[in-house]
Amino acid sequence: MIEQVPPTALPAWLATAAGAGQPLLLDVREPAEWHTASVHPEGAELRQWPMHTIPARLAELDRARPIAVLCHHGGRSMQVALFLQQQGFDHLANVAGGIDAWALQLDPSLPRY
């Protein structure tokens, strides 16, 4: 089961996950979306890879590393998290509500689209 982590709980998830290595926030939105609104959470490395590039870049990810996946509303990120789980990744979280929830819950200055 993929853990659903709302943006307000992400800092705690990242801190807990750090025991297994530096967590990764994998933003699977498209480049135009990143330019509209992006986040850089403390305690995680950020990688911005569009969803369609994940299968080809799978070898660049460490299966033992904690990964939280982010998109606009949480749908694409959940699909990517499920795909990663099928590929043998087991420390995964979906950022529930995506960057839109992030803007609503954590950072109202973040543009919503």
The residues assigned a catalytic role are: 71
Alpha-carbon Rg for the chain, nearest whole angstrom, is 13
Residue 55: Cβ within 10 Å count = 10
83-86 — which CB contacts under 8 Å span 24+ positions? 83/54, 83/55, 84/54, 85/2
Enumerate helices (H) and strands (E) in the chain, giving the number of each: 5, 5
d(CA 5, CA 67): 12
